[in-house]
Structure 1
Amino acid sequence: MKKKQISDYRIASDADSIRHSFLDNLYFVQARFPQVASQNDFYLALAWTVRDRLLSNWIETASTYYRQASRSVCYLSAEYLTGPHLHNAVLSLGIEPQIRHAMAGLGLDLDDITAQEPEPGLGNGGLGRLAACYLDSLATLQIPAIGYGIRYEFGIFEQVIRHGRQVELADMWLRSGNPWEIPRPEINFEVGFGGTTEHYTDESGRYRVRWQPQRQVKGVAYDTPIPGYRVPTVNLLRLWNAQACESFNLGAFNVGDYERAVEEKIASETISKVLYPNDEPMQGKRLRLEQEYFFCACTIQDILRLLLHRMAHWICCRRNSLFSSMTPIRQSRWSS
């Protein structure tokens, strides 16, 4: 029997390969072995296993879009009610029987594992579900598309009953990690808030206005694959996480002003902290406006970045094509 390469196990859909990938992720990603692993360890290991197969399709999809210079739909929404990713990915890939067989061979039940995944706190109502359905449909129809939104740290809330009364608690859906997202720290943009405008005349004597923001917040991209149903196309959901441009003031810390040392970090991260903050007070209305402006500003900058990258690629291809067509002329000139 020919020994399979490691890469084969990461993308193959048969039960043996899935079982091998699952144990590989349990050992080398979770640093656990089955006898001491928790249900959450099993969930994360299986999520990495299924994600590997999604990413294989994602890379092929992205490279196809790149080669064909495909125009993409850019969909912006303040929320995405995607639902749990694991079961949806398994159904989309059409590998549920193989995964059930692989997990049963290890004494595990797929339904018990999928029940461990928390509901992503990225959406709440009909608007969020509609946005998620749009992305699913675009991928299923194999239409190039990117969804843009905010990576909320906390969902809208969780309801519990204490002493006979309903209590609302923070929805900490990221407490155990999110294996479906891919951080892209190199894709980040600065967004300005507040400030003043300055009027001046440029070198040509033209009247100009320059904006000086009061503060700036950095938006960092986090990518999530969105698979189409029973097709190899996997599109992209890109969410923006708000971070401080300078997250720690060492000077303030050294003089004992510890609160001011992290003041900018707290103020910046508030933008992507909670899905739909209470907007009854004026501060809540302002925060919602900041959220909308923040993710729209990041998205527009990212669209321009992609456009400039595509133009640079097109120019490079045209130049190479021109040079290749000139090669026979140069050779004949030198030969003569």
Structure 2
Amino acid sequence: MLKERLVTQALAEGFAMARVCAPDAVPEVPDRLEAFLRAGRQGQMSWLADRAHWRGNPHALWPDARSIVMLAEPYTPGHDPLEDLDRKDRGVVSVYARNKDYHDVLKKRLKRVARWLVSETGCEVKVFVDTAPVPEKPLGQAAGLGWQGKHTNLVSRDLGNWFFLGAIFTTLPLEPDEAEADHCGSCRRCLDICPTDAFPAPYQLDARLCISYLTIEHRGPVDEALRPKLGNRIYGCDDCLAVCPWNKFASAARDQKYAAREDLEAPPLAHLARLDDVAFRQKFSGSPIKRIGRDRFVRNVLYAIGNSEDPSLMPEADKLSNDADPTVADAARWAKQRLFGEN
């Protein structure tokens, strides 16, 4: 049977799970997306509104698609990332960004599976990894990979919630799998641990308060009331993922490209604050961190320095208090005030 052989091929390529759903399997997405946008919870992520028609309807993205193959790839960390939050003179980088850009790694693997499918059937395919207006998490639930937890991320009984999602749209009419049910129960660990209270209610996220959004997508100064809550998180946040009890079933990452680089496991804030644009680009070549640029990254580092309670970091903030980028300079001055104990 073709579908069984497809799943076998996907597992052979390194994916942990592969399931199928129809393009029209997520009819609830348009209304949910509209409510999210109407509340302004997207913040500066204007592309969510610009491509809402496609994101809300996978069939509109490619009308010829008859099936969607959803695939999961683990990137489970080797240790609990929450432990790094206590090392205040060090920066915390989200687990997924501590090595190669997963978009590149995952897309290559997806393309190999897609090429196999084309060679076997002559069908047409399109592959997507998080950069197109595809509602991956609802589709993942519709295909049976897992369910969207109260933190809005996908959770699996087999993989926990440390995994990436990829999608192969195809013109083949493949038999869909059964959708996964919600297994969060009364648990609310992910909601309670959020430093910024970014969840207005279970299963809802206000991106404007999410540390991942603030450190990655948000341009310009971060609201001063939120800066202390960033702690030493300088790129992303894993708190809600790390506390999920389903992680007891998490699978180890299968690709060494997801293993953390030594220099990105709790890197010293002092070293990161000294990066100019050239050094930043060299250090983060091939990393998803490179996308946000030196100025936004150093802004985050300075917020962490301000939260460090470590006066030995004062010279780093002082040197940047007149930085050419006004947001960096503002962050440096704020960090100095914090270290002086003025706030």
TM-score normalised by length of structure 1? 0.30
- Which has the greater radius of gyration? 1
Higher RCO (CA-CA < 8 Å; seq separation 6+): 2
The two structures have a TM-score, normalised by structure 2, of 0.29
Structure with the bigger percentage of strand: 1
